């Protein structure tokens, strides 16, 4: 039985990846941090699976990473844990650096010392491209991050490359573009909009307050993207891959499509601008070219923009009607 260790198992991607690996017959160890109230909502449905074991630890605590890895001797380690909300990274830049940047070298050190034979995945991000230096973005596009989060991810990316080259670890990064789902945190724009339009439709709120509607993102479906993570660790050689749909849409387009899906004819009546959601520095346009992933991993996104909007709005209509 193959063994996988996932940091960030309680997050959107961690929960889908745990499902995928359990379905494939893995024993899955998920790192969870101690909080005053437990936050296992995304993995509640997996809690009775005897092949899922939760391990208490934190990316800020070196020994809580090294000891479990020494004991478990996993075949695969997926580092998905991070302070992942870009807006918060301006309010908490130091904490973001601790978790999202230095956290990566802590887990790499743990792998190097405790289980150097394990294959390692780092959750890199299209936010590293920031003020984009070419369109579309590929594995060769230079980075120009525009937030403390993006800067932290660049460190995480390069330290992964460096450990691969310094210690011959099987360490790779997926440079994932935005991916969404009904399990996305409510603070991210797609889930915020999907939830709001459902509530407006049901008469539970009148409008949604948003920041910049003009930024464009390459939005995919989280379930498709965790499959790409797994595929990267099934290769003979560790390499980095862009994972994206190759389509870009503005926040306004997402809002319009979500209103249409919820049966709200006038999107402008649903929206108010609130400058609190504008960012000190914006990433205006992201669009990825995942040709390498298609050619080498045989990976392609199954869910496209319209279907993603449908999945997210219908999930919110259902939840909000309960
Ligand atoms: P998410 O839903 O915010 O999940 C983040 C996870 O990290 C949660 O399980 C959280 O635990 C855990 N975590 C945070 N700080 C930690 C710490 N100090 N120690 C241990 N665990 C900690 O994020 P996601 O959307 O699933 O994204 C997964 C990864 O991919 C992240 O690294 C993110 O930056 C990266 N990424 C995401 C996207 C995207 O579009 N979703 C794109 C590119 C890259 P709690 O539940 O306790 O908070
Ligand atoms: O913002 C604009 C905002 O917070 C998308 C993370 O998973 O993907 C994510 O980062 C866009 C930005 O995601 C609101 O200004 C307008 O242009 O949903 P978001 P993000 O910043 O792209 C990358 C790839 C990651 O790696 C990150 O971890 O939407 N926007 N109005 C708004 N955004 C939010 N959150 N809320 C608003 O009201």
Nearest residue (CA) to ligand 2, atom 33? 189
Say yes or no: 111 and 195 in one domain. no
119 lines ligand 2 (CB under 6 A): no
Quick check: pTM over 0.85? Answer: yes
Say yes or no: 237 and 98 in one domain. yes
189 CA → ligand 2 middle, Å? 6
pLDDT tens digits, 158-207: 999 999 999 999 999 999 999 999 999 999 999 999 999 999 999 999 99
Identify the nearest ligand to the CA of 38 by its number: 1
Say yes or no: 114 and 191 in one domain. no
Q: At 172, which CATH number?
A: 3.40.50.720
267 CA → ligand 2 middle, Å? 20
84 lines ligand 1 (CB under 6 A): yes
216 lines ligand 2 (CB under 6 A): no
Say yes or no: 29 and 77 in one domain. yes
Nearest residue (CA) to ligand 1, atom 4? 11
188 CA → ligand 2 middle, Å? 6
Say yes or no: 146 and 63 in one domain. yes
pLDDT tens digits, 231-271: 999 999 999 999 999 999 999 999 999 999 999 999 999 99
43 CA → ligand 1 middle, Å? 14
118 CA → ligand 1 middle, Å? 21
Say yes or no: 36 and 51 in one domain. yes
Mean pLDDT of 218-241: 99
Number of domain units in the chain? 2
73 CA → ligand 2 middle, Å? 36
Q: Which of 243, 258, 285 represents a domain boundary (last residue)?
A: 243
User: How sure is the predictor about 228, in pLDDT bands with cuts at 50, 70 and 90?
Assistant: very high
Say yes or no: 233 and 309 in one domain. no
Say yes or no: 32 and 108 in one domain. yes
Nearest to 76 by CA among 158, 168, 169: 169
Say yes or no: 135 and 208 in one domain. no
201 lines ligand 1 (CB under 6 A): no
Say yes or no: 43 and 154 in one domain. yes
Say yes or no: 164 and 273 in one domain. no
Nearest residue (CA) to ligand 1, atom 18? 59
Q: At 256, which CATH number?
A: 3.90.25.10
pLDDT tens digits, 73-124: 999 999 999 999 999 999 999 999 999 999 999 999 999 999 999 999 999 9
Say yes or no: 17 and 132 in one domain. yes
11 lines ligand 1 (CB under 6 A): yes
What tokens does 320 get? 């909000």
Mean pLDDT of 19-46: 97
Mean confidence (pLDDT) of the chain: 98
Nearest residue (CA) to ligand 2, atom 29? 189
Q: Domain range holding 270?
A: 183-217+247-321
């Amino acid at each position: 039985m193959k063994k996988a260790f996932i940091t960030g198992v309680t997050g959107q991607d961690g929960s889908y990846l745990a499902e995928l690996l359990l379905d494939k017959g893995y024993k899955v160890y998920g790192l969870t941090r101690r909080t005053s109230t437990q936050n296992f909502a995304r993995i509640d449905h997996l809690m009775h699976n005897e092949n899922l074991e939760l391990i208490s630890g934190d990316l800020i605590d070196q020994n809580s990473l090294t000891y479990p890895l020494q004991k478990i001797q996993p075949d695969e380690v997926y580092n998905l844990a991070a302070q992942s909300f870009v807006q918060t990274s301006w309010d908490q830049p130091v904490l973001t650096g601790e978790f999202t940047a230095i956290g990566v070298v802590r887990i790499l050190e743990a792998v190097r010392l405790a289980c150097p034979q394990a294959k390692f995945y780092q959750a890199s991000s299209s936010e590293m491209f920031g003020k984009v230096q070419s369109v579309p973005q590929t594995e060769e596009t230079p980075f120009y991050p525009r937030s403390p989060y993006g800067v932290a991810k660049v460190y995480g990316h390069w330290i992964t490359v460096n450990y691969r080259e310094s210690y011959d670890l099987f360490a790779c990064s997926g440079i994932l573009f935005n991916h969404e789902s009904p399990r996305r945190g409510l603070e991210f724009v797609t889930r915020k909009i999907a939830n709001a339009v459902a509530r407006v439709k049901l008469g539970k709120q009148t409008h949604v307050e948003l920041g910049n509607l003009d930024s464009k993102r390459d939005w995919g479906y989280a379930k498709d993207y965790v499959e790409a993570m797994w595929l990267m660790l099934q290769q003979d050689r560790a390499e980095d891959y862009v994972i994206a749909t190759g389509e870009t849409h503005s926040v306004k387009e997402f809002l319009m499509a979500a209103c249409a899906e919820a049966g709200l004819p006038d999107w402008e009546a649903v929206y108010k601008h609130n400058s609190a959601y504008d960012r000190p520095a914006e990433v205006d346009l992201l669009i990825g070219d995942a040709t390498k992933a298609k050619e080498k991993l045989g990976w392609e996104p199954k869910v496209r923009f319209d279907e993603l909007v449908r999945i997210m709005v219908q999930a919110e209509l259902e939840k909000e009607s309960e």
